[in-house]
Structure 1
Amino acid sequence: MPVEVILPKVDMDMATGRISRWYVNEGAAVKKGDLLFEIETDKAAMEIDAPASGILRDVTGKEGIDIPVGEAVAWIYAEGEAAKPAQQVAASGAPAQSTAPVTTAPTTPVAVSEAVPANAVTGTLHNGIRATPLARRLATEAGLELDAIAGSGPKGRVMRKDVEAAISVPKLEAPVRAELINSRSPASSQPRPAPQRAAGAAPLNFAWLRQGEGRPIVLLHGFGADLNSWRPMLAAGPVDVPMLALDLPGHGGSPRQTPADLEAIACDVEATLAALDVGPALLVGHSFGGAVAATVAARGHADVRALALIAPAGLGPEINGAFLQGFVRAKSEASLMPWLRLLVADEAVLSKPFVNATLAQAADAELRAAQAEIADRFFADGTQTFDIRNLIAGLRIPVRVIVGANDRIIPASQSQGLPGEVALHVFPATGHMPQVERREQVLKILLEMARA
């Protein structure tokens, strides 16, 4: 039996939709998941995939007209399956077969919703980049620049799968020329000890997420994440200072090793910053990365002028050990999602690209094995085996701690009792990832610190 292709409901208030563009012609072979067409509503433009593999026929959904939700716009026939005679098709509810080919662009102007720019609906050039509306939205949410993504669509158009691939696949950064790095971040005004590495080597994977002038912001992610986890925060507003993100050992594109202690990780961070000639910087760490950041700042080898710790580990012994073990064991979306929901107070912020990126990491057995060893070493028996309170107390630089009141991984109460000169920001109705759930506010705090 042919498979019905319907116009789906893509938002709660949607009664009708409009096909703004077909990507597949009548009679073309499609595979399940292939992009079929694009829907325009009053609120958004969405890409619709093929529900089955086969031959696309009986296309009745015309471009540029209102179509009721749930109405069939085409049918997909299995290979070799004969089209039904008109009377049988009508009796079964399928539309009569159309002999007219479906064009890939409307022959008459399409009425475009005010909420969606015309060039976004049709996927034409915008700032010189061809991309579908969904690809643009996903890239914006992930803090990705479209011009850095290779498009696989017609004429190099960036598609949804291209953006998701850019988010989910960590790529080891190419060597960066010294003059390019120097233009992004000012050189340190103070000499630093030579890193304990080969000259010019950057032991950790890194990416310049933003360029700009002024004091650079260096970002260290938490356990089980990678440098891409910072990208959603960057979509919260304009950033005019350099932002550098590193992958910790055993994460992302960095070596799959289990560090002996926080000092060993700090050494790798210092060596990477020295190799990139990063000067006076604001160092930011989330969760486990917060403990690493505090260690780097306390050692004094890197030129850290201010420190921001987001839901930092190392302020108390308690941690959600079940989360750590469940997270590294999860291999499917069904087994991963219950653990991801623990990270936030509002699971609506768990975007599809974020979930897909985490699933891609879960499929990397070597990566997860390294992270399981890291969890066993630093969080043995569900306990934080290190303490950064004394490190923070000994610092003579500005320090801010940012936590969510509803953190289910590391209790927010652990942030109490810090030295009086440490500024504490507690966000209500927020979980373990304030940089995602309160990204506008957190980004504002970080930019204020970088510009101080």
Structure 2
Amino acid sequence: MPVEVILPKVDMDMESGQISRWYAKDGDAVTKGQVLFEIETDKAAMEVDAPSSGILRNVTAVEGTTVPVGQAVAWIFAEGETYAAAAPTNTADAPAVVAPEAKPAAVSKETAPATTATTADKADGVRATPLARRVAKEAGIDLTSVSGSGPKGRIQKKDVENGVAQGAAVAKPVVQVREPAIQAGAPLHAAWLREGKNSALAPLVLIHGFGSDLNSWRPMLGGGTLDNPILAIDLPGHGASPHTIPDDLHAIAELVEQTVAAYHSGPIILVAHSFGGAVATEVAARSHLDIRALVLMASAGLGAEINGAFLSGFVRARTEPSLVAWMKQLVQDESLLTKPFVSATLAQSQNVALRDAQQLVADRFFADGTQVIDVRQTLANLTIPVRVIFGAADRVIPATHATGLPGEIAVHLFAGTGHMPQLEQREKIMRILAEVSRSVA
């Protein structure tokens, strides 16, 4: 029998929730504990895990749909289980249609959400959902300037996104940028994306690439299950970190070290993408942290060539059409450029101070469309296990930069994959990370 995936009840007053994001699509193979979707209520935002392993079918609630508590939003079929014959008896006529009068059901541990955000209505007096606050923070938008369409005027995510889109179409918005909340002792913004199921395993510390932020790792984490705690960091000039750009990689590496130390003491596994790969290599070489392994994806610093036109165009883009045109350079499979992904990136593009800081990063480390940073020999000198991952169709940094590395460095080259293997090959990347974690446990 297929297993129902229901919308869980997470507080006593909850009657319904809005599906704000799916991390898997109909027909995908999923594993128990993998994040399936994100829901938003009047009070909180949370991620919901898969209650079992199998094939996701009959996804009935698309993103943006409000669903009553206890209603099935999908089913998980076992491998080889007949799709039509295995339909649940209460929806035999049309498996994709769910009874509208579904009543709230008790939530088991298997269907409980993985993480829950803080309450929506904060001390600042602005009524806004957690997702609306997150989108506004990424865009540097002052919520007091946004009109809410929700109950009692509560600001919802779509209200912030509509404001961003209108501002991009009409004129550059006047943005009030608030200082980001950064943990004491940490010079950069960071967040635990997963608490982990096994605290004995070394945490994964994730460092994103140019023009991105720590939230860019969330889709990858929906591609499988890892038992490690997972900490992600915003680089200088990115996400919620300060906009001051250090002069060199050593200075950035020092900020990363201080940030990790503020959140965790003990062994870690360092995982990084693109520009973050060059930073991570410097962090590993400095030996100030107990780094047990290094995983680099489409890493910068291994050769001189880089798509300078992409860097420049991405930073300048302020409207959705222009931004999407450059985002297509990142992937081979353009279906991965989902509306939420594009909307989040567009929101960031409206923060002029943020993009100015990223232009400085490009000018300083990729001057004249050339990588002026070189960590190739530094990487070769490391004595810890290293994995280097590239997409053969990378249009930002050539995959040929992975050739000629020492034999003890494991190189993974994925065909039909662009600059973001963590998105295009997320299940395989998650397996590699699990293998690395087990090998150093």
TM-score above 0.5:
yes
2:193 aligned to which of 209, 221, 236: 209
**Equivalent-residue separation in structure 2 for 1:283 and 1:261 (angstroms):** 20
Aligned to 1:330: 317
Shift of 1:114: 3.1
- Partner of residue 95 from structure 2, selected from 102, 114, 119: 114
Equivalents in 1 of 2:58, 2:437: separation in Å? 40
Match of 2:117 among 135, 141, 148: 148
Q: 2:350 & 2:102 partners in 1: Cα distance?
A: 35
- Structure 1 match to 2:337: 350
Shift, 1:313, TM fit: 0.3
The aligned residue for residue 411 of structure 1 is 398
| 1:388 is aligned to 2:375 | yes
Contact 2:91 2:97 in 1 (8 A): no
Q: What amino acid maps onto 2:95 in structure 1?
A: E
Distance 1:429 1:275, change over 3 A: same
Say yes or no: does 1:46 pair with 2:33.
no
Percentage identity across paired residues of the two chains: 53
Contact residue 256 and residue 283 of structure 2 kept, 8 A: yes
Deviation by residue 1:388-431 (Cα, 9 ceiling, x = unmatched):
11111110000000110100000001110000000000011100
Cα separation, partners in 2 of 1:117 and 1:294, compared to 1, 3 Å = farther
Shift of 1:263: 0.3
Residue 112 of structure 1: how far off its partner (Å): 8.7
Q: Give runs of aligned pairs for residues 209-288 of structure 1, distance below 5 A.
A: 209-212=193-196, 213=199, 214-288=201-275
Question: How far is 1:126 from its partner?
Answer: 7.5
AA in 1 matched with 2:116: D
Partner of 1:55: none
Cα distance, 1:147 vs structure 2: 2.4
Please tell me the residue identity of whatever aligns with 1:233. M
Q: Give the letter for the 1:45 counterpart.
A: A
Q: Is the 8 A contact 1:172 1:206 kept in 2?
A: no
**In 1, are the aligned partners of 2:417 and 2:424 still within 8 Å (CA)?**
yes
- RMSD of aligned residue pairs (Cα, Å): 3.2
* Code of the aligned partner of 2:341: F
1:423 aligns to 2:410 (yes or no): yes
3-state SS, counterpart of residue 426 of structure 1: strand
Letter of the 1:114 partner, please give it: P
Secondary structure in 2 matching 1:342? helix
Q: 1:112 to 1:391 in 2, by over 3 A?
A: farther
Distance 1:206 1:258, change over 3 A: same
Residues 182 and 189 of structure 2 are in contact (CA less than 8 Å); yes or no, is this contact kept in structure 1?
no
Q: Which amino acid aligns with 1:202?
A: A
Once residues 236 and 59 of structure 2 are traced to their aligned partners in structure 1, the CA distance between those partners, rounded to angstroms, is: 42
> What is the Cα deviation at residue 303 of structure 1?
1.1
Inter-partner Cα distance in structure 1 for 2:326 and 2:103: 36
The gaps in structure 1 that reach 5 residues or longer are 1-10, 12-40, 50-108, 130-135, 137-143, 153-158, 176-199
Query: Does residue 436 of structure 2 align to residue 449 of structure 1?
Result: yes
For residue 73 of structure 2, what is the aligned residue in structure 1? none
Alpha-carbon separation, structure 1, partners of 2:431 and 2:296: 14
CA distance in 1, matches of 2:411, 2:246: 30
Q: How has the CA–CA distance of structure 1 residues 406 and 116 changed in structure 2, closer, same or farther, with 3 Å as cutoff? A: farther
The AA in structure 2 aligned to 1:148 is A
SS of structure 1 residue aligned to 2:116: helix
In 2, Cα distance between equivalents of 1:404 and 1:164: 34
C-alpha contact (below 8 Å) 2:330/2:419 kept by paired residues: yes
Deviation, 1:304, is 0.8
Relative distance call for 1:395 and 1:334 in structure 2 (3 A) is same
Deviation at 1:450, TM superposition (A): 1.7
CA distance in 2 between partners of 1:407 and 1:232 (Å) = 19
Q: Could you say if the C-alpha distance between residues 122 and 292 of structure 1 is closer, same or farther in structure 2, counting changes exceeding 3 Å?
A: farther
**1:44 deviation in Å?**
2.7
Tell whether the 8 Å contact from 2:208 to 2:234 is kept in structure 1 after alignment: yes
- The one-character-per-residue Cα deviations of 1:171-211 (angstroms, maximum 9, x if unpaired) are 94564xxxxxxxxxxxxxxxxxxxxxxxx510010000011
User: Which residue identity lines up with residue 232 of structure 1 in the other structure?
Assistant: P
Quick one: distance in 1 between partners of 2:240 and 2:419?
24
Partner of 2:28: none
Task: Mark the CA change 1:423 to 1:110 in structure 2 (over 3 Å): closer, same or farther.
Answer: closer
- Return the TM-score normalized by structure 2: 0.64
